Amino acid sequence: MSDFEYLSRISLGQYLATNSMIHRLNPGVKLAGFSLMILAMTVCKSWQGLLILFGTALIFLLVSRVSIKYALRGLLTPLPFILILALIQILMVSYQSSQPAWFSWHFLKINWVGLLSGAILCLRFSALLLLLTLSSATLSTLEIVHGLDNLLRPLGKIGIPSGQAAMVIQIMLRFIPSLALNAEKIAKSQASRGAVWGDPKGNLFQKTRQMLPLLLPLFTISLQQADALAEAMLARGYASRNTRTSLKRYTSGINDLIFMTLTMALSGLALFGPFK
């Protein structure tokens, strides 16, 4: 894989039209089920519960015909940051724990409580990224808008426009591949002008320093694209307070009921199961 292929490393935010059973579900039901599982993954404290949710995400990926390899590839980009956070978690929890240390050096120590805490953090982040990849792969842009509009419609009673809130959230998700594509273009342009990329002998500090010249133009281009997108949406009437209609009407069936029941049961088992 080339050092400039940033988009190929990003699975989050890309829709895959496989026409699977999960793809054909009501978008509001999918969003509600995925949101419930995300909440359960965030709150769950036991590694057994996180394993249940992680396995559920893998099974849903298989049912949706999304390649497991494709989904796991999306973990490679944030993996260094996850490992750094896990190392900090291990050191902090081990320092606060009264359990005997397996490794000790000055004020640093590592015991099994810290290692378990770090493993839970890695498992939680991995499960969340897999589920977010699944949700973006099975929900198209229009489905996200309609699904969020239905779920957020009660907020209209307190003056919050559900349609505009749904549009903001789906644009945020779909902007991730655009950022990766812009980063790829900027890196290729800088390399053609003599910048050194992909040095196998470079350490972590050198690679981090190498990324700094990429951030400023990426930030500038992203702001320009956001401004152009806002003007285009205003020109098409997205700021209007009138109720928007849709060509397709979504209905719920037995498959939606089964999906929602499974997500509720598995999330409840992960949160309230007999785990220590």
Q: Can you give the residue range of the structural domain that contains 63?
A: 7-272
Q: Is residue 1 in a domain?
A: no
Looking at the 3D structure of the chain, how many domains does it have? 1
Residue range 54-107, pLDDT digits in tens: 999 999 999 999 888 888 877 777 787 888 888 888 888 877 777 777 767 776
User: Could you tell me the sign of the dihedral formed by the alpha carbons of 75, 77, 79, 84, in that order?
Assistant: negative
Residue 170 in any domain: the answer is yes
Residue 104 region by backbone torsions, left for phi larger than 0, else alpha for psi between -120 and 50, else beta: beta
pLDDT tens digit sequence for 124-144: 999 998 898 888 888 887 787
State pLDDT tens for residues 9-54: 566 667 788 888 998 898 889 989 999 999 999 998 888 999 999 9
pLDDT-based confidence at residue 263 (cuts at 50, 70, 90):
very high
- The residue behind tokens 């973006």 is 136
DSSP letter, residue 102: S
Looking at the domain assignment, is residue 97 inside a domain? yes
Place of tokens 């951030």: 215
Residue 204 within a domain: yes
Tokens 């320009």, located at residue: 224
- Residue 268: per-residue pLDDT: 92
pTM score: 0.69
